[in-house]
A and B are shown apart, each in its own frame.
Chain A
Amino acid sequence: MDSFLRALTLVSDPVVLLTILGSSIFGMMVGCIPGLTATMATVLLVPFAMYLDPVSAIASIVSATAMAIFAGDIPGTLLRLPGTPASAAYVDESYRLAKAGRAGEVLGLNLVFSAAGGLFGTVVLVAAAPMLADYALSLTSFEFFWLSVLGLSCAVFTVGDNIAKGCASLLFGLLLATVGRDYTSGWPRFTFDQPDLLDGLPFVPVLIGLFALPEILRTVRSLPQGNAVRMQQGTRIFAGMGVAMVKWFPNFVRSSAIGTFVGALPGGGADTAAWTAYAVSRRVTKDPESWGKGESLEGIIDATSANNASLAGAWIPALVFAIPGDTITAIAIGVLYMKNVNPGPSIFLENAHILYAVFITFFIANLLMIPLGWMAIRAAVPILRIPRRLLMAPLLMFACLGSYAVENSLFGIGVMLACGLVGYWMEDNAFPVGPCVLGIVMGRLVEENLMTSLIKVQGDITRFFERPVATGLALVTVIIWLWPLFKRLWRPKISVT
């Protein structure tokens, strides 16, 4: 209770509240611009977060991402261009409804169900995280090693059909994490006699480089967006919302639960949550005829609830096991490490007030979404008229300054540029960047747990499988890696029969 009251005091600090408001507006703006993702919003916030206390830093990330995921629905509905990948699942249906003069209704439902989905996910986070943490305290380095490997494996297998490239991206991230002094011996690794590299690659410039620079370059290269659908004057966005809430309540609960669960899976993310909820909704709908004709709201409500619910879900493994559920929580974990707050079960004992502050921030951000979202919908048409190519030059300057500001060194800009070119090449060759960031963030944790376990057992690998939970986790990991092989062996049998 003391921790909760302390957290409440921390969050009610005007600086924190202003940070939440400012980050929410920023997230809303980024989400509104097609092509700029919630991850981009987070990455651009990190240099500022470095100057804030841990609570404000995490509050800024939580509120910006929640807003960005909702705001992605606005260009999706008015332009048929998803603002963030999380809106892609239902963009066609939303646009058809908007062209039929129902843009206000669709955006209103998006807003309310996004906020409600976010609140649902937060309730699950508040309930599940402490229970799991209690259990996690009994785990040893063996279980944590297998958990990390399992988390990273899930991340590789959820990024696309080319597993080899996902795996290569992850291993590249793990390799980048080895740069600097070794954890056990202090020996400098891959530093090329550069003193700047002794403490490892600077996290913020690497992030900005991998995510922001490729996105800026891609936007400058691509064709400008089309014209937005006009919203009718005097549209009442929240008209009939009470009836809709009652009518779609079962859909909302089902999809928010799916979203929270998918979000909690490492590598899941908001876009996978939205696609999964949309697919389930399509399969169980009682009115399949109206789908795809610009008449059904069902898929939109399901997917929009799920993508916002997944954001809170992703924080469950991040806080309890220090294993991020998606790229955004990977970045947030990195920020926490830089602030000397180590996520994991011990955070519930050592920094419980920070944890409760994160929970409270989730509630505030999702409630704040309603008024801010309403304003964003009203202002959407003029905002969407700004050609996004023109926003890239200022964003590039922010990227350079953000990379410089972390250590007040030009080295940061150099790292950002190098990682940016690597990130661009990776995307150009269909290598997913997400697993690379997970590798960078989790590299140290994986190596620490591996080395601690190896030193404990004096090299006897069989003892990695002695404890039942460790064996179970190892088995699941092996099954995940063998799954593509099983599928390949299974397929010919189906075609013969």
Chain B
Amino acid sequence: MAEYAVLQLIRHRLPGLVVGLLGAGAIWGARSFPTPPGQLYGPAMFPTAIGTGLILCAVAIAMRQAPTTPPLVEADAPGGRRAALIYAMAPALVLVMFEMVGWPLLCAPLVAGLLMLAGARLMTAILVGFCISVFTWVVFAMVLRVPLPRGPLFFLPY
């Protein structure tokens, strides 16, 4: 029980700490911005003011009394947390594989995999993945002329 209380306290104080560090980082980073000759204020003035404001906010957030009752939290679906984590990693996968694999070959299996994770059937997921891949290629590459990487499918039209 005491361990739970300590965890709650850390959770309650952590946002204040993060905001405070951000403010301190802004002030520290702004120290290196030079003031133009003959002027009283330079590029450091605004970020320094923001950083000071963030530190004041951090103090106010951290000083606020922790709630005595647990907040009402929307219930997660079974496996929802894991699914959300994988969804969050999907853009990172796109970032790494985009140019190497090309958009169409990356999009179709990625959508199918994510759909199955969200509860879709295998065939539906594959079909939707394929359709999304074709649709996004037509809209972005062919209509909007975005040079999406083609990967091994170099014959695809723009």
Interface residues of A (CB under 8 A from B): 48, 51, 162-165, 167-168, 171-172, 174-175, 178, 182, 184-185, 187, 189-190, 213, 216-218, 220-224, 387, 389-390, 392-394, 396-401, 404-405, 408, 410, 413-414, 416-417, 420-421, 424, 429-431, 447, 450-451, 454-455, 458-459
On whether the beta carbons of A182 and B118 are closer than 8 Å, the reply is no
Interface string of B22-58 (1 = CB under 8 A from A): 1100100110011010011111011100110110011
| Selected contact of B54 from candidates A172, A416, A459, CB within 8 Å | A172
On whether the beta carbons of A390 and B115 are closer than 8 Å, the reply is yes
On whether the beta carbons of A175 and B50 are closer than 8 Å, the reply is yes
B101 within 8 A of A: no
Interface of A, helix, strand, loop or mixed by DSSP: helix
**Extra inter-chain contacts (15) besides given A221-B81, A223-B74, CB under 8 Å:** A164-B64, A167-B57, A171-B57, A172-B19, A172-B22, A178-B50, A189-B30, A217-B84, A390-B115, A397-B132, A397-B136, A400-B91, A408-B147, A413-B94, A430-B15
Interface string of B110-125 (1 = CB under 8 A from A): 1100110111100000
The distance from the CB of B134 to the nearest CB of chain A, in whole angstroms, is 12
On whether the beta carbons of A447 and B91 are closer than 8 Å, the reply is no
On whether the beta carbons of B53 and A171 are closer than 8 Å, the reply is yes
| Selected contact of A392 from candidates B45, B60, B87, CB within 8 Å | B87
Interface string of B48-76 (1 = CB under 8 A from A): 00110110011011001000000000111
Interface of B, helix, strand, loop or mixed by DSSP: helix
| Selected contact of A182 from candidates B22, B23, B33, CB within 8 Å | B33
On whether the beta carbons of A451 and B41 are closer than 8 Å, the reply is yes
| Selected contact of B87 from candidates A217, A430, A431, CB within 8 Å | A217
Question: A48 contacts which chain B residues (CB < 8 A)?
Answer: 144
C-alpha gap A401/B110 in the complex (Å):
13
Can you sample 24 A-B contacts with CB below 8 Å?
A167-B60, A168-B19, A171-B53, A171-B54, A172-B22, A175-B47, A182-B42, A189-B33, A217-B88, A220-B87, A221-B80, A222-B74, A223-B75, A389-B77, A390-B120, A393-B128, A400-B94, A413-B94, A420-B88, A420-B91, A450-B46, A451-B46, A454-B40, A459-B40
C-alpha gap A217/B84 in the complex (Å):
5
On whether the beta carbons of B128 and A394 are closer than 8 Å, the reply is yes
On whether the beta carbons of B88 and A221 are closer than 8 Å, the reply is no
The distance from the CB of A441 to the nearest CB of chain B, in whole angstroms, is 15
| Selected contact of A389 from candidates B88, B91, B118, B140, CB within 8 Å | B118
Interface residues of B (CB under 8 A from A): 14-15, 19, 22-23, 26, 29-30, 33-34, 36, 39-43, 45-47, 50-51, 53-54, 57-58, 60-61, 64, 74-77, 80-81, 83-84, 87-88, 90-92, 94-95, 98-99, 103, 107, 110-111, 114-115, 117-120, 128, 132, 136, 140, 144, 146-148
Question: A174 contacts which chain B residues (CB < 8 A)?
Answer: 46, 50
On whether the beta carbons of B98 and A410 are closer than 8 Å, the reply is yes
Question: B114 contacts which chain A residues (CB < 8 A)?
Answer: 392-393, 396
Question: B36 contacts which chain A residues (CB < 8 A)?
Answer: 184-185
On whether the beta carbons of A185 and B64 are closer than 8 Å, the reply is no
| Selected contact of A213 from candidates B46, B88, B94, CB within 8 Å | B88
On whether the beta carbons of B99 and A410 are closer than 8 Å, the reply is yes
On whether the beta carbons of A429 and B15 are closer than 8 Å, the reply is yes
C-alpha gap A167/B15 in the complex (Å):
13
On whether the beta carbons of B61 and A220 are closer than 8 Å, the reply is no
Looking at B50, B53, B77, B132, the one whose CB has the most chain A CB atoms below 10 A away is B50
On whether the beta carbons of A178 and B95 are closer than 8 Å, the reply is no
> From B59, which residue of chain A is reached at the shortest CB distance?
A164
The distance from the CB of B53 to the nearest CB of chain A, in whole angstroms, is 5
Question: B146 contacts which chain A residues (CB < 8 A)?
Answer: 401, 404-405, 408
> From A429, which residue of chain B is reached at the shortest CB distance?
B15
On whether the beta carbons of B50 and A421 are closer than 8 Å, the reply is no
> From A448, which residue of chain B is reached at the shortest CB distance?
B46
C-alpha gap A420/B77 in the complex (Å):
21
On whether the beta carbons of A398 and B54 are closer than 8 Å, the reply is no
On whether the beta carbons of B74 and A421 are closer than 8 Å, the reply is no
Question: B29 contacts which chain A residues (CB < 8 A)?
Answer: 189-190
On whether the beta carbons of A405 and B144 are closer than 8 Å, the reply is yes
| Selected contact of B60 from candidates A51, A164, A172, CB within 8 Å | A164
> From A399, which residue of chain B is reached at the shortest CB distance?
B91
Looking at B23, B118, B119, the one whose CB has the most chain A CB atoms below 10 A away is B118
